[in-house]
Structure 1
Amino acid sequence: MIRLAALDIAGTTVAEDNQVYRVLADVVAAHGTPAAEADIRRWMGADKREALAALTGDPSAVEELHGRFVTSLRAAYERQPPRPIPGVPQAIAALRESGVRVVLTTGFDRQITDPLLDAIGWRAGEDVDAVVCAVEAGGGRPLPNMIHRAMELTGVTDPGEVLAAGDTALDIQAGRAAGAAMVVGVLSGAQTRAELAAEHPTHIVADVTRLPLLE
């Protein structure tokens, strides 16, 4: 029986038209270390500081680069605001009404996460049970830290009672590392069915609206 659903934000519960990865690529290129699309894709779903360090090869510049990333992404979101993926608020509500705790997990830090969720009107403790950022959990995907933190926050001790869902290979890797009973790839985000299937999720679905129907 599933008691906790740990759900990624961008591309999984919230549509933001892949702006995060365009901004990430722009910041890396402006640093003088442009990255191929394939390299950017490998870091989809990761902690953004870790992604910037790896893509630029310049760990000493990470805080400066992350500051640029935050500023640029906020501006992009002001021009084209994120929005809940259609049907997802209702799916989350259905999960919670059935007794499943719902925690959002993200590679963003609070500088991005809080304004993003405020903009779409989601509140921890009201619309979802909690929100976990990678930096607060001691590491981002593919580590299972955010899922473990979600379990701590909701009092779930058995990973066999956890569903983890996301739109990237790293989401699936994190779910498998956590030992989650259900590790679900969703096709509403940036990566393809083939990219998700290569990580051996237990399920691949169109989007989060399908989660209340899984067994």
Structure 2
Amino acid sequence: MVTELNRIRLVVLDMAGTTVADGGLVEQAFAVAAGELGVEPGSADHAEKLDYVRATMGESKISVFRHLFGEEALAQRANSAFEKAYGELVDGGRIEPIAGAREAIGALAETGRTVVLTTGFARVTQDAILDALGWRDLVPLTLCPADAGGRGRPYPDMVLEAFLRTKAAEGVQQIAVVGDTSYDMLSGVRAGAGVVAGVLTGAHDDQALRAAGAGHVLGSVAELPALLDGPALLDGPALRDGGGR
């Protein structure tokens, strides 16, 4: 039966790959950033760095560049080049909502849930995406790593910041965290979220999402309202139970 403890009240959604389709712009922007730091396209070094970028999709981008380039000055330079290139691609109309994402967010809000959008990008890039989609007023709160201490995913900081700022949930078990990457899943698990769900519209596959803690894997975020109001959650505790697809 439905109880206060198993009713999801706060939904923390990732953006790129989960609610926003960017058509591989992260890799394109990385190529620009790497080129500015002298990484030759087609080289073994470029391929190795690109593999790391793919594996760490969802992580704070500055953290990725710190790992790749070591020195803080180089990491900051790469991050600035990346954010600039990505922003220009966004401004060029290269993004669009995942099919059914806006409708899903609306449906969640209609059932009294609070929805927060999060990202691994810097605030300037997040705002560019929101502006390009006309999503500035879609949700009451959007968060980037700098809004929650700067660490970003896979740390639980943005999820917990959403919990603290919105006051929408009585406990972390009333939070659902949804994303397309392993790092999204880890952040939800580490935050103690009642529901941690992966979607197959972005970077990582079913196996990777489940290995990182996904209790549910959906075809897309469009399926989320049905999951949260379905018998698997309403008839019992909202836990990471291995349900879904």
TM-score normalised by length of structure 2 = 0.82
Amino acid at match of 1:132: L
Q: Which has the higher Rg, Structure 1 or Structure 2?
A: 2
Give the match's secondary structure for 1:183: strand
Equivalent residue for 2:143?
Answer: 132
Structure 1 Cα separation of the partners of residues 211 and 31 of structure 2? 24
Instruction: Point out 4+ residue stretches in structure 1 off by more than 3 angstroms.
Output: none
Return 5+ residue gaps in structure 2 as ranges. Answer: 1-6, 40-45, 228-232, 234-245
Matches within 5 A, 1:1-215: 1-33=7-39, 34-36=46-48, 37-123=50-136, 126-138=137-149, 139-155=151-167, 156-214=169-227, 215=233
CA RMSD in angstroms, aligned pairs only = 1.5
Structure 2 Cα separation of the partners of residues 25 and 176 of structure 1? 32
Give the match's secondary structure for 2:30: helix
Structure 1 Cα separation of the partners of residues 71 and 27 of structure 2? 19
Structure 2 Cα separation of the partners of residues 132 and 102 of structure 1? 11
Return 5+ residue gaps in structure 1 as ranges. Answer: none
User: Offset of 1:109 from its aligned partner?
Assistant: 1.4
TM-score normalised by length of structure 1 = 0.93
Verify the 8 A CA contact 2:32 2:85 in the aligned structure 1. no
Give the match's secondary structure for 1:76: helix
User: Offset of 1:20 from its aligned partner?
Assistant: 1.5
Structure 1 Cα separation of the partners of residues 98 and 70 of structure 2? 34
Structure 2 Cα separation of the partners of residues 172 and 208 of structure 1? 14
Structure 2 Cα separation of the partners of residues 15 and 187 of structure 1? 12
Amino acid at match of 2:121: F
User: Offset of 1:93 from its aligned partner?
Assistant: 0.4
Per-residue Cα deviation, 1:24-70 (whole angstroms, up to 9, x for no partner): 24423542453524312222101111111112222232222221111
Amino acid at match of 2:147: E
| C-alpha spacing 1:28/1:58, structure 2 compared with 1 (3 Å) | farther
Verify the 8 A CA contact 1:15 1:83 in the aligned structure 2. yes
Structure 2 Cα separation of the partners of residues 54 and 157 of structure 1? 37
Bigger mean CA deviation after superposition, 154-163 or 30-39: 30-39
| C-alpha spacing 1:102/1:197, structure 2 compared with 1 (3 Å) | same
User: Offset of 1:14 from its aligned partner?
Assistant: 0.6
Verify the 8 A CA contact 2:90 2:128 in the aligned structure 1. no
Verify the 8 A CA contact 2:29 2:83 in the aligned structure 1. no
Per-residue Cα deviation, 1:92-149 (whole angstroms, up to 9, x for no partner): 00000001100001111111011110110012xx311210111110120010000011
